[in-house]
Chains A and B, each alone.
Chain A
């Protein structure tokens, strides 16, 4: 790159404070034209807050932003786009009921006629190989396709800086590779890219520079190609990494959870049902279900937990006892506990105290109900134990669940289920959005529970997590589950292809465009 050109973006002393948290503390770094710059950090490190200020969604409490050498105030996203800043969000800002073209039009500030816009959109799509039908309704698109809309939307503005917020968390490995091609092409044309992620191997593969944030502070700026994944991870996390401790030479027991030809019906418009899923989990086994978001994971969890009932009593059974017609309460009594992906509002009630949240799932197994009345004392004692055993940072059992941070709430929820000593535990995304310390604690608790002879099912989109944690792995795609394989005998490429729907007779979705 030409060193004489002014810096595309320069941040000096950016500080942002929220009630009770210092989200960004005196952060300074810069991005050159055409540079792919990684912003690396754990969840909660302040990456998202920082880019929201660059994109004008929030304003900094202190500090300066320079654009092409001149100080600027980015009052709102409109102003950001005017400067030439485009952003692709982690959670897409798309409108499900509208078409691709309508969605793109909403992102444009100009008054381009819809026919002219369509011509431009098709141009950009063919230039970068982002294939989409502009007239399809977003609700009918896959997650990868939705991301393409966001990218097209950003590219139509000829951005000089493109911000990508955790873009690969929802993509298959193959889709990730295609995305990287697009980004490299862009950078070669002089567009700077600010790439936010916590996935180290991606950053090593893609980025020229990496700025690492921890607890709101900038801890290092480095060249990722010169670093090892481990050295960057240690900078990101702070303390040395802890590995999961497994007892040596353990063997798996008898089959415990049996799922047989499980089928769910399509509940909502946007729902992917489960189709003919069968698998067995043995005592002491951790069974992983990998897959890209939106391929039936939610339906699978609901069908296993008993939230959604089918009409086949033998579809789910523990130790041969059929559970298929029992609701969540009935299944818990039989030893099957579950933790859904969404914490606040599904696994826990934000407005309720932790004590009341313990009543939600532990009332029957732990005798918190006597003749229709709730034994508040028992709930409080149990909640205190969960808080202590799982190191939940909370004032006490009387704190509301909503007042806890995401990681702490997840530790509480996992603790609430694990301390009930379920013989089968089904969890979805156990460490999603959780800091590394809490994630390690949760992983260890799962391993320990399995060591005691419970059968565990982990549904996750984080392949690294599954590979580290599980004994057996299967991939869910379009509501169908692939054959289970021992973790040691399966390659990432193979899993990637399965996640993209490329396996045998199953119809391949358009995960890999021509």
Chain B
């Protein structure tokens, strides 16, 4: 090998910021090549997926609406992953948050008042927290791996939707479709820019990211998450309980996923349907990593992933690229990012000429 890896004395800050951008750029280049090789219009796919949503002003509102849940969930996950708590069941907590909001909306159907929406939001957050509390309880009490439990609960949550909208919550006027009735006006999330679909969830997402950034960088809570995640032994020595941290991380990430769920069901959906789980909870995992587990970075990463979602839909109609291509591009971003992480801690050095007693 002409190059050798050499450990940097300090992790490179520059690389920390550079690798996410490089990962996106590499994905565009390699993606174009791969899709060309398997018989698609590779250049077109990259253009439609990554650029059209940005150049076409009409798509911006879509971007905001898609980015909001990704950012809200991604912020929660970034906090949990900092603490080395692997909540990958955000999709399930998102679903349960949406269901809890739906329950309030259906129970208050026919009523009106400004209290309904806050109550729904509260129910959504609590729902997400409760669903995340199961893996937290099992991990802290019985040391059961939270990756597997949170993921299994996600699969179960989807069945919960199917059951509820097939039987107890089914729309009586729905002509047999498995879905709830349309929410009443008081249970719908208002749009903030008239004439667009941009709803209240968008500014909420930005606010969540900002508050989380402040807390994570300045407070003892943020310090606790970071130190438990980086060096659990040192954290215990510093007086931070690992179990408490796991609980906090799961509740915060679950609550935020639940918040995203209730905002989605009260905003874009306005009723519970079988197609409610839209993979935001899984894509937010990529968002959290691409944002370097930093809430402000998550905002940018959320927008990038929203671009691929919106762009994927564009490419589907304009050049007939299957929807699944979006997932491949998203996974490629994560692959390149994880591979590039090496450059944060190591640098490439050209190896000097072979010494006398060097390798055989």
Contacts and interface: CB of A to CB of B under 8 A. Distances in A.
Q: Is A–B contact present in the complex under a CB 8 A cutoff? A: yes
Interface in A352-390: 352, 356, 359-361, 363, 369, 372-374, 376
B114 interface: no
A347 B234 contact: yes
Interface string A274-317: 00000000000000000000000000000001110000000000
B237 A307 contact: yes
Interface string A438-473: 000000000000000000000000000000000000
B56 interface: no
A369 B357 contact: no
A118 B203 CA distance: 72
A306 B233 CA distance: 13
Scoring B220, B231, B355 by chain A CB atoms within 10 A of each residue's CB, the highest score goes to B231
B355 A59 contact: yes
A345 B241 contact: no
A372 B233 contact: no
A167 interface: no
B196 to A, nearest CB: 38
Interface stretch (B7-15, B276-284, B316-324): B7-15
A14 B213 CA distance: 52
Given A59-B357, A60-B357, A64-B356, A400 B10 contact: yes
Contact of B231 (A305, A327, A330, A345): A345
A372 B356 contact: no
A345 B233 contact: yes
B359 interface: yes
Given A19-B6, A59-B358, A372 B230 contact: no
A96 to B, nearest CB: 19
Contact of B238 (A328, A342, A372): A328
Contacts of B233: 342, 345-346
A41 interface: no
Given A342-B233, A348-B234, A19 B7 contact: yes
A340 B9 contact: no
A360 B238 contact: yes
Contact of A352 (B227, B352, B358, B360): B227
Scoring A73, A327, A348, A349 by chain B CB atoms within 10 A of each residue's CB, the highest score goes to A349
A403 B231 CA distance: 16
B189 to A, nearest CB: 31
Interface string B218-255: 11110100110011011011110100000000000000
A348 B219 CA distance: 19
B73 to A, nearest CB: 25
A328 B355 contact: no
Interface string B341-360: 00000000000100111111
A75 B360 contact: yes
A424 to B, nearest CB: 16
Nearest to A60: B357
Nearest to A342: B233
A229 B196 CA distance: 86
A20 interface: yes
13 contacts: A19-B9, A59-B355, A73-B357, A75-B360, A346-B231, A347-B237, A348-B234, A351-B11, A360-B238, A361-B237, A361-B238, A373-B219, A376-B218
Give the 10 A-B residue pairs with the shortest CB-CB distance, closest first: A329-B239, A360-B238, A75-B360, A328-B239, A349-B231, A346-B233, A60-B357, A403-B9, A61-B355, A349-B234
Interface of B: 6-7, 9-11, 218-221, 223, 226-227, 230-231, 233-234, 236-239, 241, 352, 355-360
